[in-house]
Amino acid sequence: MTGIDLLGIQKYVFTSNRLRDVISASWLVQWATSCDGALQNWRNQVLHAGGGSAILSFDSMDEARHFAGLYSRKMLETAPGLDLVVAHYPTQNGLAESLRNLQVVLARKKLERRPDADTLGLAVTASCGVTGLPATAIDRPDATPVSRQVKIWRREDTRREAEGRWEKDLESASGWQFPVEIDELGRTRGDTSLFAVVHIDANDVGEKIRNWLSCCVDERLEMTAVRDQYREWSQWIDAEFRRVWRSLVERILASIHDGCLQGCIPRLNFELRASKLPLRPVLLGGDDLTFLCDGRIALDLAATALREIANGDCPHLGKMSACAGVAIVRSHYPFARAYELAERLCQHAKSVRRQQQDRGCWLDWHIGVARPTEPVQEFRDRLYRTNGLQLTCRPYRLGSGVRDGGTWFWLSGTLLGTSGSGLRGPGWGQRRNKVKALASLLRQGPSAVRTALHAWQTVDRQLALPTGLDASGFNGDRTPLLDAIELIDVHLSLGGES
């Protein structure tokens, strides 16, 4: 039994700040653990392949080690800079027990791995402007020195393969393409110039797999049964996340009218660049999904993906759920830092979910920059805590609909609603100065909000807070109002919330 685990995938993919390079690097990650890529000669031995990992079964240890030598050489030649760990474990006491032990060996190998300390170049060697590694070629369009890693990313055949990977997702999108430049995502010059990195990761998959393996061991399943079940749930997860991604593409296509993306808030509709969709897949494999999109539709797409995942029931593993982190930043903000922030937000949502002992989907986001590596809770306290009050309720549980108080769907459909007492409704929507004043009053506390609201209502009875909030705007020491106010001009819902 042989296990492969790719290391530092995010660092590898987001090394460059060019979207074209990111697309190529992402394809090489997918190629590295694909039966149509690096593993094509060992297709019959594959139990699982995808999402940056693979497990293969060989008849002997010598055969497994021979494979490891050939595979690692192929990786070094085709995807330099993408690190990996390979571990072997003899098939003893049944396949399920061997799979469980192989995971332990892989984890130990990662911890025991010696860091690379190669002499990569001499003092006279030019450095790559992207990776910092010794340059081995000149990039013709820019006449700049690049490393072998970047040279492979920018080869015509690599870019062609990277783009071709997503062609099936556009079969129903006649004339539309995924953009290869950030400026093509839909930004409106002179108005909104935000793009978002959305990172979605399934919850508790490792725990579900361990529980499944334990059941296989306890029930003493035959090797063929374990193998079949393993392939069944592994292939289901890959297919399910591909289906989720395609549902996002279909949602965008259904919202395009006369070259304009139209949602529930007409003033936030925006024109698209010719033939370019406002989203771009980056990483899709296993139980996670990362994509770029126009900042105005990021939260809508993230919530849609979570809702689709929550409807899934994986064979042998059970009901699925996921968390999403959304980093909404200015155009030309470094990819690596935006992704790192999105990943931190996703992990923070998972942490709160565990604390709440909830089994559903959660969503967290941040607009603007954050200090590198600063924990989410620390910058939340720095930006949103005052006088013992927490001026944010993030992260939000996805919820079941707009009437499910305190959830994302309630925030988006009711608190930011266009009817009744929603902040975009007939009352608050015509009084933007009052909404801005409300944002300042929240920092003074519940009594200040209650007093101001009472004074405003003597003139206009329509100015009431939405269902789910009392006259102070707070639930205990927390309020969702500032979250909603920050999204008034940023969040465009494409509809479908119930």
Instruction: Based on the fold, state whether residues 196 and 156 are members of the same structural domain.
Output: no
- Count: domains in the chain: 3
What DSSP string runs through 190-209? TS--EEEEEEEEESSHHHHH
Is residue 481, in this structure, part of any structural domain at all?
yes
Is residue 338, in this structure, part of any structural domain at all?
no
d(Cα 16, Cα 150) in Å, to the nearest integer?
Answer: 9
Instruction: Based on the fold, state whether residues 96 and 221 are members of the same structural domain.
Output: no
Instruction: Based on the fold, state whether residues 157 and 197 are members of the same structural domain.
Output: no
The counts of H helices and E strands in the chain are 15, 19
pLDDT at position 57 is 92
Residues with Cβ within 8 Å of residue 412, at least 6 apart in sequence? 299, 300, 303, 402, 491, 493, 497
pLDDT at position 94 is 82
Q: Which residue has the tokens 């941040």?
A: 366
Sign of the CA dihedral 64, 65, 67, 72?
positive
Instruction: Based on the fold, state whether residues 75 and 215 are members of the same structural domain.
Output: no
- For the chain, report the end-to-end CA distance as a whole number of angstroms: 48
Instruction: Based on the fold, state whether residues 199 and 305 are members of the same structural domain.
Output: yes
- Identify which of 16, 232, 46 has the alpha carbon closest to the alpha carbon of residue 128: 16
Instruction: Based on the fold, state whether residues 395 and 294 are members of the same structural domain.
Output: no
pLDDT digits (tens, 9 = 90+) for 80-108: 999 999 999 998 778 899 999 999 999 99
Instruction: Based on the fold, state whether residues 155 and 14 are members of the same structural domain.
Output: yes
Last residue of one domain, picked from the residues 273, 300, 323: 323
Is residue 86, in this structure, part of any structural domain at all?
yes
Six-digit token string for 204: 């508790």
Last residue of one domain, picked from the residues 300, 323, 346: 323
pLDDT at position 498 is 44
Is residue 205, in this structure, part of any structural domain at all?
yes
Is residue 156, in this structure, part of any structural domain at all?
yes
Backbone angles phi, psi at 138, to 5 degrees: -110, 125
d(Cα 200, Cα 291) in Å, to the nearest integer?
Answer: 9
Is residue 127, in this structure, part of any structural domain at all?
no
pLDDT at position 131 is 87
- DSSP H helices in 91-222: 95-112, 148-153, 156-164, 205-218
Instruction: Please count the other Cβ atoms lying within 10 Å of the Cβ belonging to residue 188.
Output: 13
Six-digit token string for 206: 């490792």
d(Cα 337, Cα 372) in Å, to the nearest integer?
Answer: 7
Domain that residue 21 falls in: 1-112+151-163
Instruction: Based on the fold, state whether residues 172 and 90 are members of the same structural domain.
Output: no
pLDDT digits (tens, 9 = 90+) for 362-400: 999 999 988 888 899 999 999 999 988 999 999 999 998
Instruction: Based on the fold, state whether residues 39 and 157 are members of the same structural domain.
Output: yes
Six-digit token string for 322: 């996921």
d(Cα 400, Cα 55) in Å, to the nearest integer?
Answer: 37
Instruction: Based on the fold, state whether residues 74 and 214 are members of the same structural domain.
Output: no
Is residue 364, in this structure, part of any structural domain at all?
no
Decide if 328 contacts 199 (C-beta within 8 A).
Answer: no
What residues in the chain have per-residue pLDDT under 50?
A: 498
Burial class of residue 385 in the structure, from the number of CB atoms within 10 Å of its CB (0-12 exposed, 13-18 middle, 19+ buried)? middle
Instruction: Based on the fold, state whether residues 98 and 245 are members of the same structural domain.
Output: no
Three-state secondary structure call for residue 2: strand
pLDDT at position 192 is 65
Q: What pTM, to 2 d.p., does this model score?
A: 0.93
Length of the chain: 498
Is residue 142, in this structure, part of any structural domain at all?
no
Instruction: Based on the fold, state whether residues 155 and 170 are members of the same structural domain.
Output: no
